[in-house]
């Protein structure tokens, strides 16, 4: 946790929200913590998202340790808090989060936030100001959009921002750094607050201010999820997080779609903002696009899926040039099939091998690390009759190698294996070789063909002599 | 080699099982039937070791273990009923998706557009336990499954090389 905070600390300029209102706090405290989470979006989100994994773990640890008190010394770590809130939004959505947003009255020292009862919120809150208040305020205020528009005049909000306010009453509003702060204080209080808030805000913080009160639907994870989108998520865990985020986003978008919602939610997914590029993660209905909850949810889901496909693309070798979901899917299917066949081959080979009684497991394990290709040649000629030999393609080795080992799976081999490799399904081993050999010859420069099962070494030699084997020297 | 990596965990487990299997001394150790039996056992051991070696339990690991157990206890109809339920779940999902998207879902995972994503039945067949998952989770499971399969293949290759020396 601390490290996370530090990370964000370095990145975020101090976000002084001292202008924030105490009143806001009191009112809105009753909002679920989820809302809070959604509100704050770190503009440098992607930076923080780089450490998404530790973040997640930190967050989960936070969740598990419900700390009632706010923790953060006000050092302007609002951003971080926001990030955390966003991430943990989902966790906190359990609904039992009776808002303990005991928002302390403006403490410039920034002790405000602590009131997040939800565990995740507690740790991060380093809000300078009652950042906490922000979400609360947002969520609770039904006329937020209107007020925001109104308040915009105070601080001279950017046009795009205001446009968004006007455009979509229910749409999530992208809050620009300075403006977001503006909005938050504004709606709650007098313009002065807004102005002060505005002036205070120096960092371009994008806030996600889902005013949604839905318990369990607001998932702050959408924030990390959106960022995860931008950052290739190498790990499946990331994808999982992304999934959750995506779901939360979809939920949020659904809520966005339903008008008349008292809470203004400015959920936005930073897919393709029509405005100048901002590094948010919001769900936003693009201009001219359908804004009903279904299509928004669909879009979120599609983005999730494409994220996963990208990750799979990295896993499957040779899929970088492949474009399109259908082709990619076929490639994945082929690869999985080839891997499964390889396992079967290997287990057949192991079934045929003559186990040596003096094999030591540790030795084997250490051997695993040792690539002993050259010794395979010798091993082949010393095979006894029951030694398994599988037809495998192999990469040309230096020197003479009659390779009975299984070559490294490469793309070519992979594709080769997918071309009607019938061996695993054959119960009788003996007669598959000729066919397989011919198939493989076509694909590889040199193929060593070996018989199955009870090939005697002479038989093995004989099969080599049948001309189906090309040995590359 | 990292002692606690998936690779080493799988390797230890699998080697243990392998030595056990080879320790059996059948009457005719080199007959094709015997070899085939050993092959099946080794393959089951490989799948089982892999399923046990993953840290985070996944859907496919449970499905693999379940299949192995049901196979060892004899084919039963339990599996079919489970499959039927999963099929129903999938159909419900695809129906719902159809309503939402108004796209036609294609079967077999072949096709263009969004429709292919709804079913991807081929992939479902390949990934154990993939029948009852939605497409998103299916892709997740596939990624994890591919990772584990590659580990399995690598380790088994090395063992096979070592054995054939």
Per-position DSSP letters for B37-48, written without gaps between them:
HHHHHHHHHHHH
* CA dist list (Å): B19 to A68, A435, B24, B47: 55, 33, 9, 16
Handedness of CA A193, A198, A200, A206 (dihedral sign): positive
What pLDDT is stored for residue A279 in this prediction? Answer: 53
Kindly report the nearest CA distance between residue A125 and chain B, in angstroms. 31
* A372 contact residues in B (CB cutoff 8 A): 161-162, 165
Q: What is d(CA B43, CA A343) in angstroms, rounded to the nearest whole number?
A: 7
The predicted model scores a pTM of 0.41
Closest to A378 (Cα-Cα) out of A403, A395, A408, A399: A403
Does the beta-carbon distance from A343 to B46 stay under 8 Å?
yes
Does the beta-carbon distance from B165 to A376 stay under 8 Å?
yes
Which residues are bridge partners to A59 per DSSP? none
CB < 8 Å from B in window 335-364 of A: 335-337, 339-340, 342-344, 346-356, 359, 361, 364
Say which of B29, B147, B149 has its CB closest to residue A340: B149
CA B139, distance to chain mean position in Å, is 14
Say which of A342, A352, A356 has its CB closest to residue B153: A342
Does the beta-carbon distance from A326 to B110 stay under 8 Å?
yes
Q: What is d(CA A75, CA A184) in angstroms, rounded to the nearest whole number?
A: 19
pLDDT in tens, chain A (473 residues): 545 444 444 444 444 444 444 444 444 444 444 444 444 444 444 444 444 455 445 444 544 444 444 444 445 555 555 555 555 555 545 444 444 444 444 444 444 444 444 444 444 444 444 444 444 444 445 555 455 445 555 544 445 444 444 444 444 444 444 444 444 444 444 444 444 444 444 444 444 444 444 444 444 444 444 444 444 444 444 444 444 444 444 444 444 444 444 444 444 444 444 555 545 456 666 677 777 888 999 999 889 988 888 888 888 888 777 677 788 888 888 899 999 999 888 888 888 876 665 555 556 656 555 544 444 444 444 444 444 444 444 444 444 444 444 444 444 444 444 444 444 444 444 444 444 444 444 444 443 444 444 444 444 444 444 444 444 45
Q: Is the ipTM value over 0.85, yes or no?
A: no
Q: Are A256 and A246 in contact (CB under 8 A)?
A: no
End-to-end alpha carbon distance in chain B: 22
Q: What is d(CA A68, CA A122) in angstroms, rounded to the nearest whole number?
A: 7
Does the beta-carbon distance from B116 to A325 stay under 8 Å?
yes
Q: Are A145 and A173 in contact (CB under 8 A)?
A: yes
What pLDDT is stored for residue A312 in this prediction? Answer: 86
Kindly report the nearest CA distance between residue A168 and chain B, in angstroms. 23
Choose between B65 and B88: higher pLDDT: B65
Q: What is d(CA A210, CA A263) in angstroms, rounded to the nearest whole number?
A: 7
What pLDDT is stored for residue B153 in this prediction? Answer: 92
pLDDT digit string (tens) for B96-149?
555 554 444 444 444 444 556 567 888 888 888 888 888 888 888 889 999 999
With 80 as the cut, is the pLDDT of residue B78 above it?
no
Does the beta-carbon distance from B123 to A326 stay under 8 Å?
no
What pLDDT is stored for residue A258 in this prediction? Answer: 44
A206: enclosing H helix or E strand: strand A206-207
Name the DSSP class of B28.
Answer: S
């Amino acid at each position: 946790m601390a490290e996370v905070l530090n990370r964000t600390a370095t990145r975020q300029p101090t976000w002084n929200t001292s202008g924030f209102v105490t009143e806001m706090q009191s009112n809105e405290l009753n909002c679920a913590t989820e809302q809070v989470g959604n509100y704050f979006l770190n503009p440098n989100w992607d930076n923080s998202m780089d450490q998404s994994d530790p973040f997640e773990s930190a967050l989960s640890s936070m969740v598990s340790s419900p700390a009632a008190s706010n923790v953060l010394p006000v050092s302007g770590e609002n951003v971080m808090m926001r990030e955390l809130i966003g991430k943990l939004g989902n966790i906190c959505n359990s609904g039992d989060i009776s808002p303990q947003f005991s928002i302390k009255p403006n403490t410039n020292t920034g002790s405000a936030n602590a009131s997040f009862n939800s565990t995740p919120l507690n740790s991060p809150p380093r809000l300078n100001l009652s950042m906490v208040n922000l979400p609360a305020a947002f969520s609770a205020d039904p006329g937020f959009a209107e007020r925001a528009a109104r308040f915009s005049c105070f601080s001279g909000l950017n046009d795009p921002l205001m446009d968004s306010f006007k455009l979509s009453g229910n749409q999530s509003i992208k809050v620009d750094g300075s403006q977001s702060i503006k909005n938050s204080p504004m709606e709650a209080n007098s313009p002065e607050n807004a102005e002060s808030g505005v002036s205070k805000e120096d960092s371009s913080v994008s806030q996600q201010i889902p005013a949604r009160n839905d318990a369990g639907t607001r998932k702050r994870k959408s924030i990390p999820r959106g960022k995860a989108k931008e950052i290739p998520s190498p790990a499946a865990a990331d994808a999982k997080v992304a999934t959750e985020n995506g779901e939360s986003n979809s939920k949020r978008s659904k809520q966005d779609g339903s008008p008349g919602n008292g809470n203004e939610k400015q959920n936005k997914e930073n897919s393709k903002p029509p405005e100048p590029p901002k590094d948010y993660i919001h769900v936003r209905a693009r201009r001219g696009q359908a804004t009903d909850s279904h299509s928004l949810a669909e879009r979120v889901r599609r983005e999730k899926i494409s994220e996963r496909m990208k990750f799979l693309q990295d896993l499957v070798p040779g899929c970088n040039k492949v474009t399109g979901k259908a082709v990619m899917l076929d490639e994945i299917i082929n690869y999985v099939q080839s891997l499964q066949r390889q396992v079967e081959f290997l287990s057949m080979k192991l079934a045929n091998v003559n186990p040596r009684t003096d094999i030591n497991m540790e030795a084997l394990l250490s051997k695993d690390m040792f690539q002993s290709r050259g010794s395979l040649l010798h091993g082949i000629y010393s095979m006894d009759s029951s030694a398994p030999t599988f037809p495998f393609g192999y990469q040309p080795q230096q020197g003479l190698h009659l390779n009975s080992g299984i070559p490294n799976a490469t793309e070519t081999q992979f594709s080769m294996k997918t071309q009607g490799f019938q061996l695993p399904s054959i119960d009788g081993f003996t007669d598959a070789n000729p066919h397989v050999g011919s198939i493989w010859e076509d694909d590889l420069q040199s193929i060593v063909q070996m018989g199955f099962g009870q090939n005697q070494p002479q038989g093995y030699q004989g099969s080599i002599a049948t001309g189906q084997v090309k040995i590359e020297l | 080699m990292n002692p606690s990596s998936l690779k080493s965990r799988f390797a230890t487990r699998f080697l243990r099982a392998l030595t056990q299997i080879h320790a059996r001394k059948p009457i005719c150790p080199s007959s094709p039937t015997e070899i085939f039996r050993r092959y099946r056992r080794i393959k089951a051991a490989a799948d089982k070791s892999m399923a046990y070696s993953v840290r985070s339990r996944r859907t496919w690991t449970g499905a693999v273990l379940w299949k192995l157990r049901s196979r060892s206890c004899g084919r039963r109809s339990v599996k079919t009923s489970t499959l039927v339920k999963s099929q129903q779940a999938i159909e419900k999902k695809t129906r719902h998706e159809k309503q939402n998207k108004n796209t036609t879902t294609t079967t077999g995972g072949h096709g263009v557009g969004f429709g292919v994503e709804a079913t991807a039945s081929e992939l479902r067949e390949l990934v154990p336990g993939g029948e009852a998952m939605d497409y998103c989770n299916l892709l997740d499971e596939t990624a994890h499954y591919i990772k584990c399969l590659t580990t399995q293949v690598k380790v088994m290759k090395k063992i096979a090389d070592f054995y054939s020396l």
